[in-house]
Structures are given as C-alpha cells and as structure tokens.
Chains A and B, each alone.
Chain A
Amino acid sequence: MTHREIRVEALPRVEGEGAMHVEVTDGVLQDVQLSIYEPPRFFEALLVGREFTEPPDITARICGICPVAYQMSACQAIEQACGVSVDGQLRALRRLLYCGEWVESHTLHIYLLHAPDFLGFPDALQMGAQHRGALERGLELKRIGNRIVEVVGGRAVHPINVAVGGFFRLPTTAELTDLRAELLMARGLAAETVHWVSGFDFPELDVDLEMVALSHDEEYAIDVGNVASTAGRRLEVAGFGDLTEEFQVPYSTAKHARLSGTTPYLVGPLARWTLNSDRITGLTADVAREVGQAPTCRNPFRSIVVRALEVLYAVDEAIRLIDAYTAPAQPRLHVVPQAGTGHGATEAPRGLLYHRYSLDQDGLITAAEIIPPTSQNQPAIEHDLWRVVESNLQLPDDELQQIAETTIRNYDPCISCATHFLDMTVTRR
C-alpha cells in the first residue's frame, strides 16, 4: 500500500490562520480537509447587552480587511429593527465608501496574494523584482481605494465615521473633488489590471454548485439588494438566516454553512458576476468584452479576472456617485431604538455578509447572528479542492501543493472573518 500525505500547517497568503490536509492511498484520493485554527473570538456573544449604536464599531473588528462590509450590514440590520431606511445621498455615500473597500480589498488580493500564484513567485515583492511596473500599479490602485475609505470613513482600517442612520460628519466638497482627481487616475490603472490578469494561464475547472448573491434591479448589487441564486431562488434578506444552516466540523474553528442544511453553495465575485453582470454597462462592460469575459463565470481560477472587473466597476461607480452628489441636510437620520429584530446583508468583497440583531425597548442587543462569506464558502472550497487534487494526482507533491493552495486562494478566504481559517497537508499512502 502506498501512502501519500501533503500537509500545509500554515497556509500562506490568506487572511488568517488555516491548514490543508490531503490524503491519498494507492493513488486514490481519500480525504481533503481545509482546517481553520484561527482562535474564536465570540463576537455574537459579546454583542449581547451592547447598545444599538455600537455594532458598526465592534463588528468592524471581525475583519481588518473588510471592516466597511461589517459596518454596512450591521447598520442596515439595526436600522431595519428600528424602522428606519437610509436612502438618497446618505445611501450614495455609503455605496461610495463600499466602493473604496472593494478597490482596496480586491487589489490587495489580486496583486499581493493571488497574482504571484499565476506568475510563479512566493510573494508580491519577489514578483515585483521582475514585474516592477505591475507591483507599483497594484500598490497605487490599492492606495486610492484606501483614500476613498479615508475620505468618507475617516480611516482606512476600522473607519470611525460610520453611524447607525448615516455618518458622523459629511465629506466636504473639497475632499470629494481631490478624491475624484485620484479616481480618474485609478480608472486607467484598473483597466490595465483587467488586461494584465486576463493574460494569465487558468487551469480548467467548472463549478457545479449553486451560486448566491444579492441582486438589484437597476444596479450591480453592493450595498443593497435581495438574495438571488443560480437555482432561481429569490428572497428578501430577512429570509436568508432561515435558508442557511451553520454547522461545525471537528477540524475547524470556523462554522460551515449550507442552504436548507444540505446544499453547499458559493458566494463572492463569481456568484455576483454570474447573477448580475447584465447590470453593468459602460466602461466595465466594454473592457469585459475586450478581454473576452463571458456574462457568466464558473471557473474559480478566473475569479481574479472578475475581481479586476469589479475593481474597475467600483472606481467608475465611485466617480459617478461623486458627480451626482449633493450634500444632504443632515449627516445622519435620527434613529430611535425600539424592540424588534432586523436583518441586513451586503456584498463584502468575498461575498454576501448577513447580520441579524434583536433589540429590547431600551436599544440594548438581546441576540446577534453574523454569517460571513468565508463560512459559506468553506464547503465549496473543499469541493473544489477535492476535484482539483483528484485530477492532478500525477503531479509531484510540491506542484500538487501549489495548485491546491491556488484553489483555496481563488476564494480569497478570510479566516479572521470565518472564525468568528489555513495550513496544507497531503498524505499519500
């Protein structure tokens, strides 16, 4: 009996701590595990007893890479519980802030975490020694994404300007004018990024899982939408908590999620593009056509192309939002707490992020539930890993490990989020 085992005890270039284990006996794949050993921090428990105004600041700390997503889903859920709806220019500012996070987070993943896989480097800095222009372009684009978050949110990591009901202070016309000038530069860099990543070699893989994303009639859903899936599901955000069921596996500190307790599914750029790309017009649609990106995308290795297109869209959308902006009378709506339950969902860079809060009449939180994208994607990642490893067993261990790691990074897994995730081990017998 021949036994082959590949273990990666600490997966690199992912956000957080995870491990991978692959076990092969007599040339047959026996087991694939993605284990997350990131220590749990119990956010849903520590939120109980806090005031309704606090979740935007507290839940931002679940993830330093996508804090805006947590702030936006939290605000929506609390505002719904209090019977308030934030729309008009306040909502436009929220979408602008969110565009900043998409640019910053996606660009981080494209240039610093994922591109080195396709070009054969251990990290972006070593990639930069041979692709200096590309690295500088990525860092500049990321900087401008962070600028959006700083201008609207006050700070790039854990923004301080997000309030239930809106913002603490509105950005000034001068701040938005300066930002717009940088965004015009970013638009060129983002278009170049799409062309650059489209030239990579992508292994074949066709995902056969259901895809879930928010969807909106008039726009590419980021901050607002109903839940939609490639299997034809359509529901309001309030129904999402009941649709998904979170469960645990012994080898991971992150919860997994399935639809109706049985169906694995995926969220994120592939799901968004496949469900919503027909809402994209103008420059991003033109560039997608130029690089031959179909209106649907089922190959997770091509997620880097979709992320690049979403960066371009977010930059363009940010410019549009600034051009259409007129300052609202007040930085935020007055929100009076009331007893009740509210649900919120937005499209974090890694996929749909759902929050639910119950409040008492004094505005104190009595229950909280948070379903982050990486928890939802864990079964899908293991599903992909199984297929990729099985079809590449002829490869030597180091090459098998490389393609397996890339398969995981296709999802830009955020382990800090999921634990509320990676190391690889391959065992061959």
Chain B
Amino acid sequence: MSAKPTLAVWKFASCDGCQLSVLDCERDLIALSEQVEIAHFLEASSAVSDGPYDVSLVEGSITTPGDAERIRRVREQSRTLITIGACATAGGIQALRNFGDTDAWAAQVYPSPEYLDVLGTSTPIADHVRVDFELRGCPIDKDQLIEVISSLLAGRRPRTPSWSVCTECKRAGQVCVTVAHGTPCLGPVTHGGCGALCPGYDRGCFGCFGPKERANTASMNRVLAAAEVPKSRRLRLYRTFNAGAPAFVDAVTTDQPREQP
C-alpha cells in the first residue's frame, strides 16, 4: 500500500522522555510523517501496522523476563534497530539495582512485592540483541534523532558527535567550572551531544550522555580527588543515568587515588 519506509517506536523500562523527543520534533514531525510511515508508535497512535519494520527506535532497558523475550521479537521484526537514550544504551538510572539487592528494594517500595516479576538487573538492549546504532543522552537530543533518521533515509552514516562534553565546552568558549570554581565535572569523560549544557549553566556535567569512547576515568578520578571530591561523592557522580555503562562501572571499581578528607 505504502512505499514509504516504516518506522516503529518501542518502550521498555524508561520515563517516556526519549519517545517524547519524537513528538517534540513539532514542525519537523509533520515533515517526518511525510517521509516515513509511522507504523507502530503506541504513545502517539492507536493505528498499528504489523511488521516487519524498516526502522525501530527502542527506548528503555530490560528489567523483566517478559521484556527480555519481547526485545527478541522486536529485533526479528526490525531491519534497523536504533536504541534511543541512556536506559536503552546503558540500563538507565534503574541500573543502580545492579549494585544493590532488588528483592530488598522491591520490599522497600511495594507493599506486596510478590505481585512483581522482575529481574535483578537493568541491562541495555545491546546485551540482548544486535543494535545497529546507539543514540546517547538522558534524554536524547531531538536534532540528533532527526539526523539519525534522515541519514538512514539517505543511506549514509549519521553525523553525531564522537567527541567529549569537555571539547564542546571549550569550543563554546565557556569557562571551565572545575578550574575556575573547583566544581566536579564529568565533561572530560562524557560523550558529547548536549552542547556542554551544564557548564553553560554554571554547574558540572553529570554524565547524562554516558562515557565517551576511551574515556580516561583514571585521570578523571585524579582531577576529582585533587579538587577534594571525596570518594563517596565520586562514586555517586558515576552512578546516575549511565551507572551501568562499562566505563563508568570501571571508573568506580578502579578508583584508587589518594583519599582526601
């Protein structure tokens, strides 16, 4: 019926914010709908077409036995699978359970935890199925989302940042919050894409785009220790929305600089 490529949007454990970025495309949303057939997007439409789909956008992490099965079915129906956001690429804030006791947590939050069927971990999509492209951020940047979809339609590689937040900050000509004020900032080890938003607001980067490739967290930890950030706070810095990303897990386990009071 339609010769347009088909787009599907899927949700796993998440806050909806990255899917919302699709609807936040506003004027571009109408243009997008003229380029692709939105075939499966439950948050936006009750009209659902059966797969297979040309492109699947996947939000959220895998936290239940049922979702671990569902992501396999999504993969089978998707020619290209793109994960959107920190939950899908690193497990999200809910991956903090990977370092705690999920049963105790469930008992702490729910009066009748026996009604729940959850896994002890929150894991990224790539731990379960092949992922073709990962779009970073908590939340993702909507312009990068449009770039990724446009590049797929044009048959080229997406042009998204490969540099760090620190690089973006320098390019923007912003004053370094660590050097000037001793504010802890994960900019040197964090994947770019936000435009160094937080330092522009006089606060340190808290890593919501996750670790950049080859992040030198050993050096980062020395800088943080020198700025008198105690080890407990260094741990909390890495353990937020990308706590489950391997480089941030390592940053905590290998953090051995001289202890500061």
Contacts and interface: CB of A to CB of B under 8 A. Distances in A.
Interface of A: 10-17, 37-46, 48, 50-51, 54, 57-58, 61-65, 67, 108, 112-113, 116, 122-126, 128, 135-136, 139-140, 142-143, 146, 154-158, 160-161, 163, 168-169, 246-250, 252-253, 255, 331, 405, 414, 416, 420
Nearest to A135: B30
Nearest 3 CB-CB pairs, A to B?
Answer: A64-B17, A123-B45, A122-B47
A126 B108 CA distance: 44
B236 A54 contact: yes
Contacts of A108: 20, 23
Nearest to A122: B47
Interface stretch (B73-81, B124-132, B154-162, B196-204): B196-204
B42 A39 contact: no
Contact of A40 (B18, B20, B47, B106): B106
Nearest to A57: B206
A46 B201 contact: no
Given A13-B45, A13-B46, A61-B93, A248 B115 contact: yes
B115 A39 contact: no
Candidate in A136, A414, A416 with the most chain B CB atoms within 10 angstroms: A416
A44 B203 contact: no
A308 B19 CA distance: 23
Contact of B111 (A16, A246, A405): A246
B109 A42 contact: yes
B246 interface: no
A95 B36 CA distance: 39
A246 B112 CA distance: 11
A168 B67 CA distance: 38
Contacts of B20: 64-65, 108, 157
Nearest to B33: A125
A250 B16 contact: no
B53 interface: no
A10 B12 CA distance: 13
B97 A42 contact: yes
A139 B30 contact: yes
B46 A45 contact: no
A112 B11 CA distance: 18
B15 A63 contact: yes
A46 B46 contact: no
Interface of B: 11-21, 23-24, 26-27, 29-30, 33, 38, 41-48, 63-64, 66-67, 92-94, 96-97, 100, 102, 104-106, 108-112, 115-116, 118, 122, 138-139, 194, 197-198, 200-203, 206, 208, 233, 236, 240-241
A140 B106 contact: no
Nearest to A254: B110
A250 B96 contact: no
Contact of A168 (B15, B138, B201): B201
Contact of A39 (B12, B21, B46, B198): B12
B17 A157 contact: yes
A123 B44 CA distance: 6
Nearest to B43: A15
A427 to B, nearest CB: 20
A255 to B, nearest CB: 7
A139 B118 contact: no
B96 A13 contact: no
Interface centre among A15, A63, A136 (most CB of B within 10 A): A15
Contact of B109 (A58, A61, A420): A420
Given A51-B233, A139-B27, A44 B17 contact: no
B38 A155 contact: no
Contacts of A169: 201-202
Contacts of A142: 24, 26
A253 B116 contact: yes
Nearest to B47: A122
